Amino acid sequence: MKKYVCCGKVRGIFNYKKNQCQCDAVTSFKTPAHHGMKCCFNNQEIIIIIIIIMDTRFTRGKSAILERSLTRPKTEVSVSAFALLFSEMVQYCQSRVYSVSELQARLADLGQGVGASLLDVLVLREKNGKRETKVLNILLFIKVSVWKALFGKEADKLEQANDDDKTYYIIEKEPLINAYISVPKENSTLNCAAFTAGIVEAILTHSGFPAKVTAHWHKGTTLMIKFDEAVIARDKALDGR
């Protein structure tokens, strides 16, 4: 049994071609709303109705995990445990690919899973459920809130490219992920922070700021964020209002 829930008016941008909407203000959700989003578009009034196709588990009321509070006491694990787990992940990915770029793509894929799960819980905890609508704010959200949740500190630097308004850099001198990784000489371009890049890419994309994020060796590790043209155009339009 599927149940449809409508949450009323949400301001948003409708993409005719893809038949999807990118909302810039999703305010009244209590459950993660990424899966099964559908939109109706009313040409005159610009009202977008979002329908969440509810999984049966949300309505059964049986799942203990949904009864638990999202704000919970912080628990800690040892960095060694994480480093060993991450090392196994890298080795596993490596056993299934032929090149460095494929390996980085696989790591980024894994990171996407983490980012997508993390976004909702952080927005609820840190922002009271309010989403960011501006490029600079979402980048600061990543630099501060996301980084603190993941690595216990803010990212070292956030910079914009001099010559390109679509490109931003998040620079981390000594990323936790790379702390115990030594890259072999023959694969010197490999940067396992591709995993972090995947996390950031998922957070941006799921917040309605589609972008490509890649990891590079530069001033430590630099994550290069390239936004879609449409994102920057929308941001400028918002500025003009």
Partner 1 sequence: MSRQSNRTTESKKMNSELFTLTYGALVTQLCKDYENDEEVNKQLDKMGYNIGVRLIEDFLARSSVGRCHDFRETADVIAKVAFKMYLGITPSVTNWSPAGDEFSLILENNPLVDFVELPDNHSNLVYSNILCGVLRGALEMVQMAVDVRFAQDTLRGDNVTEIRMKFVKRIEENLPAGDE
Q: Give the binding site for partner 1 (CB under 8 A).
A: 57, 63, 65, 74-82, 84-89, 91-92, 96, 109-111, 113-114, 117-118, 121, 149-152, 176, 195
Residue 226, beta-bridge partner list: 167, 212
Least Å distance between CB 73 and partner 1?
11
Q: Which CB, 41 or 151, lies closer to partner 1? A: 151
Q: Which CB, 171 or 177, lies closer to partner 1? A: 177
Q: Which CB, 75 or 128, lies closer to partner 1? A: 75
Least Å distance between CB 110 and partner 1?
4
Least Å distance between CB 88 and partner 1?
4
- What is the b/e burial string over 61-95, where b = at least 16 CB atoms within 10 angstroms of the residue's CB? eeeeeeeeeeeeeeeeeeeeeebeebeeebeebbe
CA dihedral 202, 208, 209, 212 (to 10 degrees): 40
Least Å distance between CB 238 and partner 1?
31
CB 54 within 8 A of CB 2: yes
Measured at the CA of 38, the angle between CA 37 and CA 41, to 5 degrees, comes to 140
Structure token digits, residue 23? 């909302």
CA-CA distance, 182 to 203, in Å (whole number)? 28
Name the E strands within 145-210.
157-160, 167-172
Q: Which CB, 60 or 218, lies closer to partner 1? A: 60
CB 86 within 8 A of CB 192: yes
Least Å distance between CB 19 and partner 1?
27
Give how far the C-alpha of residue 36 lies from the chain's centroid of Cα atoms, to the nearest Å.
Answer: 18
Least Å distance between CB 113 and partner 1?
4
CA-CA distance, 32 to 52, in Å (whole number)? 9
Where does residue 11 fall: left (phi above 0), alpha (psi -120 to 50 degrees), or beta otherwise? Answer: beta
Q: Which CB, 22 or 207, lies closer to partner 1? A: 207
Q: Which CB, 26 or 116, lies closer to partner 1? A: 116
